[in-house]
Amino acid sequence: MGATGLASAMSYRYDVEGVHDIDVYLEHDGYEGLRVALEMEPSAIIDTVKEAGLRGRGGAGFPTGMKWSFVAQDTGKPIYIVCNADEGEPGTFKDRPLMEEDPHQLVEGMIVGGLALNSVQGYIYLRGEFRHAGRRMAAAVRQAYERGYLGADVMGSGRRFDLTLHRGAGAYICGEETALLDSLEGKRGQPRLRPPFPAAKGLYSCPTTVNNVESIAAVPFILRHGVDWWRQWGTEKSPGPKLMCISGEVKNPGNYEVALGTTVDEMVEIAGGMLDEREFKFYCPGGSSTPILPASAGSVPYTFEDIMEAGSLLGTGALMIYSDRTSVVSTVRRFTEFYEHESCGKCTPCREGGYWLSQILRRIETGNGRMDDLDLLQDVCDNIFGRSFCALGDGMTSPIVSSLEHFRDEYVEHIKQGRSPFGVEPRRDWKVTEFTHGGGYEPVPPATPTAPVDVPVAGQA
């Protein structure tokens, strides 16, 4: 086990004044990883990334080196490297700061990735709303062309690499890698059937890799400083530092670089401890599509394997912390409304199921809930999970199923009291619907609260 706690590796330049400018970047080790890469065979670059044990930072944690080795080299078609800079998962805010503070880090990573894959064209698919990051990235790409790091003769090596910045229109589904590729091709962003996987048939039906910003930006550091340097942090299966997004009810929410293997409780302390000295109640380990865990699982080391053993996923590194004054039901209802809204509509379980899950959760929260709604929630989730076309459907069910597992009492209390025991006022503009016997559904007004606001419930201090 390597060092734990705060790390200063990929973010060490964030505090350097003006490092988004290429001259300042060059004064701070800039393009040194690329210099090393240019001396290496493509397969050696991939082997080094494999030895470092770098796992994808975009959500699934797939080993980056292995992913690169799957990209078909013998098709005679161009090979593309695509950077997923869509960063849409609620709670996630690590890629945008990286691109705003240190954009050349990503440009350098893209060129190194291009060398490793024998690709001469890369794309950065950037969320359209990220205006400032977009300006910074566009300026960095321009400067890299002007200084000969991009273009026909990368650093005088005779090797070519071109990089295009593409701004998306801001749909969560366009972060899913195959929907992203459709969007990049100018189509409506919806997931593709797999196989074929992008490594065989991706952008314009050519071999393609899609990687997260943080995964790509890590590679020049690994080449520049070596595998042992990278492995000084983390564990055997989850080595390296991680850019963390710590949010919610902590005193100092924000972006922290932390060694993998640091426990969740330690990260709460790193972020200043619980806000207003409240009691830590539950957390979302890696974005709102990862199963929530109770605070009793706070001693779990933050690694891919340990979080999975605890029943959740590391996801994007978006650690959301909640206290005893927060309603699990309200939190899960808000997440579910997001997924309902962002469902692309391609497959029935997610498109229809998302709507009904939101309806049932609103019904419970507004005091119209019934005890059999809990089984109904579980049943709808069971019909979405594993039956949807892409992982958005599965992710939609995670907070619901996990909250029913860990905080069922709180749902029961909402239903029994006919109101939110946390004093959450039902929104009068909600249209809560119910099936009618003749088919169809009709709106039901929110119920009038029947119990005083200060009735304690399980899990509440």
Ligand X SMILES: Cc1cc2nc3c(=O)[nH]c(=O)nc-3n(C[C@H](O)[C@H](O)[C@H](O)COP(=O)(O)O)c2cc1C
**Closer residue to ligand SF4 (CB): 386 or 445:** 386
**Closer residue to ligand SF4 (CB): 188 or 251:** 188
Least distance between ligand SF4 and beta carbon 188 (Å): 11
Pick one of 54, 217, 392, 401: the residue that binds ligand SF4 (CB under 6 A). 392
**Closer residue to ligand SF4 (CB): 33 or 393:** 393
Pick one of 147, 325, 334, 351: the residue that binds ligand SF4 (CB under 6 A). 351
- The C-alpha R_g of the chain, in whole angstroms, comes to 23
Q: Minimal CA–CA distance to 317: which of 63, 110, 92? A: 92
Q: Taking CB under 6 A as the rule, does residue 335 contact ligand SF4?
A: no
> 184 to 223, contacts with ligand X by CB under 6 A?
210-212, 215
**Closer residue to ligand X (CB): 55 or 414:** 55
Pick one of 116, 173, 307, 328: the residue that binds ligand SF4 (CB under 6 A). 173
**Closer residue to ligand SF4 (CB): 88 or 291:** 88
Q: Taking CB under 6 A as the rule, does residue 350 contact ligand SF4?
A: yes
Q: Taking CB under 6 A as the rule, does residue 122 contact ligand SF4?
A: no
As a whole number of angstroms, the distance between CA 64 and CA 46 comes to: 9
Contact 357, 351 (CB under 8 A): no
The helix/strand/coil state of 377 is helix
Q: Taking CB under 6 A as the rule, does residue 150 contact ligand SF4?
A: no
Least distance between ligand X and beta carbon 181 (Å): 10
As a whole number of angstroms, the distance between CA 78 and CA 230 comes to: 31
**Closer residue to ligand X (CB): 108 or 266:** 108
Q: Taking CB under 6 A as the rule, does residue 180 contact ligand SF4?
A: no
Helix axes 42-52, 103-117, angle to 10 degrees: 120
Q: Residue 111 to residues 29, 115, 127, 149, 423: CA-CA distances in angstroms?
A: 16, 6, 21, 8, 53
Binding mask 189-228 for ligand SF4 (x = CB under 6 A): --x-------------------------------------
Pick one of 87, 101, 266, 373: the residue that binds ligand X (CB under 6 A). 87
Q: Taking CB under 6 A as the rule, does residue 393 contact ligand SF4?
A: yes
Given the DSSP bridges, would you call strands 162-167 and 121-126 parallel, antiparallel or unpaired?
A: parallel
**Closer residue to ligand X (CB): 289 or 420:** 289
As a whole number of angstroms, the distance between CA 38 and CA 159 comes to: 9
**Contact partner at residue 56 from ligand X, ligand SF4, none, CB < 5 to 8 Å by partner kind:** ligand X
Residue 269 contacts by C-beta under 8 Å, 6 or more apart in sequence?
A: none
As a whole number of angstroms, the distance between CA 24 and CA 9 comes to: 17
- The number of angstroms, rounded, from the C-alpha of 100 to the middle of its chain's C-alpha atoms is 18
CA dihedral 326→332→338→342, nearest 10 degrees, is 160
Pick one of 148, 170, 272, 345: the residue that binds ligand SF4 (CB under 6 A). 345
Pick one of 390, 396, 400, 401: the residue that binds ligand X (CB under 6 A). 390
Q: Taking CB under 6 A as the rule, does residue 413 contact ligand X?
A: no
**Closer residue to ligand X (CB): 212 or 290:** 212
**Closer residue to ligand X (CB): 338 or 430:** 338
DSSP secondary structure string for all residues of 161-219: BEEEEEE----GGGGSHHHHHHHHTTS---PPPSSSPTTTS-GGGS-EEEEEHHHHHHH
460: left (phi over 0), alpha (psi -120 to 50) or beta: beta
Compute the Cα dihedral for 408, 318, 173, 78 and give only its sign: negative
Tokens for 412, please give them. 């029961």
**Closer residue to ligand SF4 (CB): 105 or 178:** 178
Contact 250, 275 (CB under 8 A): yes
Binding mask 153-182 for ligand X (x = CB under 6 A): -------------------xx-xxx-----
Which position's Cβ is nearest ligand SF4? 350
Contact residues for ligand X (CB under 6 A)? Answer: 56-60, 62, 64, 67, 84, 86-89, 172-173, 175-177, 210-212, 215, 390-392
Contact residues for ligand SF4 (CB under 6 A)? Answer: 173, 191, 343-347, 350-351, 388-390, 392-393
